[in-house]
Chain A
Amino acid sequence: MIPAPFEYSSPKTLSDAFTLLETSGPDSKILAGGQSLIPVMKLRLGQPSRLIDINNIQELSYLREADGYLRIGALTRMVDLESSDLIKKKYPIISDTASHIADPTVRNMGTAGGNVSHADPANDLPGTMVALGAEFVAASSKGTRVIKAKDFFVDTFTTDLKHEEILTEIRVPMYAPGTGGAYLKLEKRVGDFAIAGVGVQISLDNDGTCTRAGIGLTAVGPSVIEAVEAEKALVGKKLTEEATRAAASLASDASTPTSDLRGPADYKKEMIKVLTSRALKRAHQRAVGGSA
């Protein structure tokens, strides 16, 4: 299949990209890894008039800890998130997620920024970023602003980003020791989108009481869902079997799946319960075991 014609530019700096975005029409689009956008264009579900390819903007590609945050440049590839020792050791929820997105060939191209900006409810990284309480840095020629996860994901394929803005960084707070996270995804076959997915990140104090819980749900609503009631129910408690089960039920209540080729709605709701419970157990093990 052949996409509709478009103009193409590949700026080398962010400021050139801003100028291009401002001077081209509202139907121009940013091209990152292209692993969502190009399939959309081949199916002619999208026909942008211009693509602004950000792959040559070196300053968007980095992964480092600084000033209390893990900072992920928007152009960081999935393969780099998956294989980074820093991520594996301190943010295993992110390596869990990256290693279950699509397949290794797609992950060579697909970027962190693209996965969240596409805002497909079945994208996996949004659930994880919600669990982590991540923030999103949007930049334009007018400056930068920081968007909280709960404001960033607006609706299906819709984020809070304005047309002239580029997502430059995803930043994740560096939690104190005693934190742990996990992402679990149920899929029909390797490389497929999730039937349902759950990301969990918890922090415990010295006697094992939960001080913070973040829970994000994938593919069970029009957009990623934060299971707020489940999070609240955990704070101030120890992660006993009973507390875990109660939180898993509340997470399931927060989900609003629809029936489709990947399964009936009530099955997905049930799976959210199972996955949340398992993810909480793994997150707990990681929190007490020293590695996040």
Chain B
Amino acid sequence: MEEVLRGLASKMHVEITVNEQKKEADVEPRLLLVHFLRENLSLTGTHIGCDTSNCGACTVLVNGKAVKSCTMFTVQASGKEVMTVEGLAKGGKLHPIQEGFWEKHGLQCGYCTPGMMMAGVALLQKNSNPTEEEIRRGISGNLCRCTGYVKIVEAIQYAAEKLREAQQQKVEVPAR
């Protein structure tokens, strides 16, 4: 009973920008970010694959850094910007990382895919031209039970190339 009261007594107000939209809620401090995203906001693209912080299916970006949303409390994300897999596509156009997984067949069952894509996006933000080894290291916090990773690496390489091309076009515009 005491436990229940303690939980009820302590709801806290949070304001979190999720996929560029401001969200407010009163939550228990113990509410994990992954549960807030999936249950409060119905953003079920972020998956839960383990209970031990190992699998990375729950990976989202918090202020641009990849984190395991099952290993962070919602209250810790207050005042921050969160990006989930739902925030990747813009105006009906897939993000290059999504295109990469589509084109290169980077998924089978798809359970690990949202987390893989978020880890991939975080990696490419830091390193726009990663080697295969750097990609493998970069996604080493994400487990896939199906693909054997080869196609996932190719998907991230595809996205890297697309993003570099887009970057180059941006640079060339003012020169014209």
Contact = CB atoms under 8 A, between A and B. Distances in A.
Contact of A109 (B6, B54, B71, B138): B71
Nearest to A192: B54
A38 B68 CA distance: 11
Contacts of B70: 42
Interface stretch (A5-13, A64-72, A123-131, A245-253): A5-13
Contacts of B156: none
Interface in B1-55: 3-4, 6-7, 10, 12, 28-30, 32, 35, 51-54
A49 B2 CA distance: 11
Contacts of B6: 5-7, 49
B108 interface: no
Classify chain B's interface size: 20 to 34
Contacts of A42: 32, 51, 70
A19 interface: no
Contacts of A41: 30
Contacts of B140: 103-104, 190-191
A86 interface: no
A1 B71 CA distance: 11
Contacts of B66: 104-105, 108
A104 B138 contact: yes
Given A2-B32, A105-B56, A106-B141, 13 more contacts: A4-B3, A6-B10, A8-B12, A8-B29, A8-B73, A31-B76, A38-B71, A39-B71, A103-B140, A104-B141, A105-B141, A106-B68, A109-B67
A4 B6 CA distance: 10
Nearest to A8: B29
B119 interface: yes
Interface of A: 1-8, 10, 31, 34-35, 38-39, 41-43, 49, 51, 53, 55, 102-106, 108-109, 190-191
A104 B137 contact: yes
Contact of A105 (B10, B28, B59): B59
B76 A55 contact: yes
16 contacts: A4-B3, A5-B3, A6-B10, A6-B30, A7-B10, A8-B10, A10-B75, A35-B53, A38-B32, A39-B71, A103-B141, A105-B56, A105-B67, A105-B119, A106-B141, A109-B67
Contacts, number: 90
A226 B28 CA distance: 43
Contact of B68 (A3, A10, A53, A105): A105
B72 A109 contact: yes
Counting chain A CB atoms within 10 Å of each CB, the highest count among B29, B59, B68, B71 belongs to B71
Given A103-B141, A104-B138, A2 B30 contact: yes
A108 B56 contact: no
B119 to A, nearest CB: 6
Contacts of B4: 5
B51 A38 contact: no
A5 B29 CA distance: 7
Given A34-B71, A34-B73, A104-B140, A4 B30 contact: yes
A8 B137 CA distance: 34
Contacts of A191: 54, 140-141
B104 interface: no
A165 to B, nearest CB: 23
B34 to A, nearest CB: 11
B122 to A, nearest CB: 8
Given A39-B71, A55-B76, A190-B140, A3 B56 contact: no
A5 B10 contact: yes
B14 to A, nearest CB: 11
A7 B73 CA distance: 12
B161 to A, nearest CB: 22
B151 interface: no
Contacts of A2: 30, 32, 35
Contact of A106 (B3, B12, B28, B53): B53
B40 to A, nearest CB: 14
A34 B69 CA distance: 11
Nearest to B29: A8
Contacts of A3: 30, 32
